[in-house]
């Protein structure tokens, strides 16, 4: 073997040793990339859940408003019947009695509609809190992935540790979502 071939083999061996030492970095990057993907999907689903619950809450409030308007109109009509002189008082009392039973039912319905709308609004707030945590966790995981990838360029392990730190905090934030009620 010639001396330049020995030198070349030595350099190849050193390069291979360097590549072996970067395997944990590559694995960390792969793991962070998977966690970013999972967190992104969870965040998107949570945002969608918030939007759907907001639509449901709006529907409930619209139903509440429609029933409230019907109730008000019925009350006006019943008050008008009570104030006007009527030839057939028995028929008027029958209509007024029917109106009063509708008013009682609508009072119950309004309470239920309001309660359901408030429950959907509470679900919206909860989903938004979860989505915000997912977004923060995703950002931290992405930052960790990028900083970790700098290790491949610079061959300095400090970037790997910093990237893993960001990744760990990102994982913690995402885990926090499951503790929020």
Average pLDDT over residues 2-21: 55
Long-range contacts for 141-147 (Cβ within 8 Å, ≥24 apart)? 141/32, 141/35, 141/36, 141/39, 141/166, 141/167, 141/170, 141/171, 141/174, 142/36, 143/170, 144/32, 144/168, 144/169, 144/170, 145/29, 145/32, 145/33, 145/36
Tell me the average pLDDT of the chain. 84
pLDDT at residue 152 in the model: 84
pLDDT in tens, 73-114: 887 877 777 777 777 777 777 777 777 877 878 888 888 888
Give the single-character DSSP code of 86: -
pLDDT at residue 17 in the model: 52
Average pLDDT over residues 156-161: 91
d(CA 71, CA 80): 14
Domain parsing of the chain, residue ranges: 23-177
d(CA 61, CA 110): 10
Q: Flag whether pLDDT at 40 surpasses 70.
A: yes
Neighbouring residues of 101: CB distance < 8 A, sequence distance ≥ 6: none
Neighbouring residues of 47: CB distance < 8 A, sequence distance ≥ 6: 127, 131
Residue of 68, 45, 15, 49 lying closest to 125 (CA atoms): 49
pLDDT in tens, 55-64: 999 999 998 9
Q: Flag whether pLDDT at 21 surpasses 60.
A: yes
Q: Flag whether pLDDT at 18 surpasses 70.
A: no
């Amino acid at each position: 073997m010639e001396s330049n071939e020995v030198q070349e083999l030595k350099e190849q061996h050193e390069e291979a040793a360097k590549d072996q030492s970067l395997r944990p970095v590559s694995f960390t990057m792969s793991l962070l990339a998977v966690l970013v993907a999972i967190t992104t999907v969870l965040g998107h689903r949570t945002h969608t859940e918030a939007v759907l619950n907001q639509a449901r809450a709006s529907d409930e409030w619209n139903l509440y408003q429609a029933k409230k308007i019907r109730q008000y109109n019925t009350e006006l009509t019943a008050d008008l019947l009570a104030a006007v002189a009527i030839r057939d008082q028995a028929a008027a009392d029958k209509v007024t009695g029917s109106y009063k039973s509708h008013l009682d039912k609508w009072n119950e319905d309004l309470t239920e509609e309001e309660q359901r709308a408030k429950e959907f609004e509470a679900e919206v707030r909860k989903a938004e809190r979860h989505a915000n945590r997912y977004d923060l966790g995703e950002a931290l995981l992405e930052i960790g992935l990028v900083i970790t990838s700098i290790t491949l360029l610079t061959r300095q392990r400090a970037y790997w540790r910093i990237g893993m730190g960001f990744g760990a905090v990102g994982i913690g934030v995402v885990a926090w979502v499951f503790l929020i009620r």
